[in-house]
Amino acid sequence: MRKSSRKKASASRPSGAGRKIVPLATMEKQAMANRWQVTNDDKIKEARLLGIGKTTLYRKLKEYGW
């Protein structure tokens, strides 16, 4: 017989009740805003820190109205 590879949830782990799910777009905006402050508007540096290409950064900036 095969044993299930799933582990039962521990009693100490929260079940998710009361946790707020943050949309990915919101997290992305926050990350971009934080990087903008750190990089002093250096787009190349900002893209590198975010792990995205320069073209993607410019597209996201346009998408978010920056």
Q: What is the pLDDT of residue 10?
A: 54
Question: How much is the pTM?
Answer: 0.59
Q: Is the pLDDT of residue 41 over 60?
A: yes
Q: Is the model more confident about 60 or about 36? A: 60
Concatenate the DSSP letters of all residues of 3-64 into one string.
Answer: PPSPPPPPTTS--STTPPPPPHHHHHHHHHHHHHHHHTT-HHHHHHHHTS-HHHHHHHHHHT
Give which of 10, 66, 7 is closest to 36, Cα–Cα: 66
Q: What is the pLDDT of residue 16?
A: 62
Phi, psi of 39 (to 5 degrees): -95, 0
What mean pLDDT do residues 5-32 have?
74
